[in-house]
């Protein structure tokens, strides 16, 4: 199968760079020993985690991304912004948070079915930042979200999933439209 892919790529003047290629295994047998994937005379390395389009995809039973990397990037961004602008008003800091930091938690949010545990794990960084900006304790966050008209991470993700599914359902590709209508019902 890999040879067929390589042949097809050559037909359109493309070539796989084995030195930049990795294999991550997803599925119930992801940890079982398997033969090497070979391109030409070189083996492609198996990894437990690989970076692709800004996500770190994990080898697991089901499709999973590393939430740790998302949180780290969020905290790096927020801490950098906050130390440089903590004298600004709360609305300005909130805008900075929404524009520059929050996207690290929301990248690709519409295409993943999040578990409650994952949502909680991603909710914590935003809640921490909100507490710091508004100088409140976690117990007052519900009121803070309402007062500032902000939306909590799980609600944002559910909204993005809904929009993503609506876009897929209106896609001109019949296979995609049919797949979406089956999954929605």
> Could you report the per-residue pLDDT of 85-105, keeping only the tens digit for each?
978 999 999 999 999 999 999
Tell the residue number behind the tokens 């914590």, with chain if given: 124
Q: Would you list the domain boundaries of the chain?
A: 2-58, 67-166
State the SS3 of the chain. CHHHHHHHHHHCCCCCCHHHCEECCECCCCCCCCCCEEECCEEEEECCEEEECCEEEECECCCEECHHHHHHHHHHHHHHHHHHHCCCCHHHHHHHHHHHHHHHHHCCHHHCCCCHHHHHHHHHHHHHHHHHHHCCCHHHHHHHHHHHCCCCHHHHHHHHHHHHHHHHHCCCCHHHHHHHHHHHC
How sure is the predictor about 182, in pLDDT bands with cuts at 50, 70 and 90? low
Q: What is the pTM of this model?
A: 0.77
> Could you report the per-residue pLDDT of 68-81, keeping only the tens digit for each?
999 999 999 999 99
- Dist CA 40 CA 11 (whole Å): 16
How sure is the predictor about 185, in pLDDT bands with cuts at 50, 70 and 90? very low
Is the predicted pLDDT of residue 165 greater than 80, yes or no? yes
């Amino acid at each position: 199968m890999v040879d067929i892919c390589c042949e097809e790529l050559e037909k359109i003047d493309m070539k796989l760079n084995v030195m930049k290629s990795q294999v991550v295994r997803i599925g119930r047998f992801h940890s079982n020993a398997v033969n090497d994937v070979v391109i030409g005379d070189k083996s492609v390395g198996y990894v437990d985690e690989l970076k692709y389009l800004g996500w770190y995809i994990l080898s697991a039973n089901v499709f999973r991304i590393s939430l740790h990397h998302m949180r780290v990037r969020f905290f790096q961004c927020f801490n950098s912004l906050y130390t440089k602008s903590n004298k600004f008003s709360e609305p300005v800091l909130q805008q900075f948070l929404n524009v520059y930091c929050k996207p690290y938690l929301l990248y690709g949010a519409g295409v993943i079915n999040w578990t409650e545990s994952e949502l909680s794990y991603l909710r914590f960084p935003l809640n921490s930042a909100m507490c710091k900006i508004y100088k409140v304790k976690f117990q007052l966050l519900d009121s803070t979200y309402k007062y500032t008209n902000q939306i909590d991470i799980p609600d944002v993700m559910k909204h993005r999933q809904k929009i993503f599914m609506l876009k897929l359902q209106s896609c001109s590709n019949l296979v995609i439209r049919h797949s979406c209508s089956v999954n929605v019902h």
